[in-house]
């Protein structure tokens, strides 16, 4: 059952949303409904960790102050010498 909803939205945002909906051949109402529906489905959905990923968890021990960005930068510098 569809129910009417009144919203106050910035005029520019509405115009952009209308253009987006038109270019994707969907009504603005359906676009909003789809977005609002996705908010609940994302919240309810749990991320499933596969057995392979579980088995790899904890394989590598790193120092607490390990800086992965610095390490990766060093790797790239060495690689492209």
Backbone angles phi and psi of 66, in degrees to 5: -65, 130
17-65 tens-digit pLDDT: 999 999 999 999 999 999 888 887 765 667 778 888 888 888 888 888 8
Give me the pLDDT at residue 50, please: 85
- Domain layout of the chain by residue ranges: 7-45
Q: What is the DSSP string of 3-70?
A: --------HHHHHHHHHHHHHTT--HHHHHHHHHHHHHHHHHPPPPPPHHHHHHTT-S---TT--HHH
Tokens representing residue 6 in the block? 């009144």
9-30 tens-digit pLDDT: 999 999 999 999 999 999 999 9
Which comes out higher in pLDDT, residue 2 or 42?
2
Give me the pLDDT at residue 54, please: 84
In terms of Cα–Cα distance, which of 22, 4, 3 is closest to 14? Answer: 22
The pTM (predicted TM-score) of the whole model is 0.49
């Amino acid at each position: 059952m569809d129910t009417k909803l009144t919203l106050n939205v910035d005029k520019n945002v509405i115009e952009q949303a209308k253009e987006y909906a038109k270019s994707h051949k969907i009504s603005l109402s359906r676009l909003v409904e789809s977005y609002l529906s996705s908010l609940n489905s994302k919240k309810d959905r749990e991320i499933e960790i596969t057995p392979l990923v579980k088995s790899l968890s904890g394989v590598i021990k790193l120092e607490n102050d390990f800086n992965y960005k610095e390490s990766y930068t060093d790797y790239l510098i060495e690689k492209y010498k």
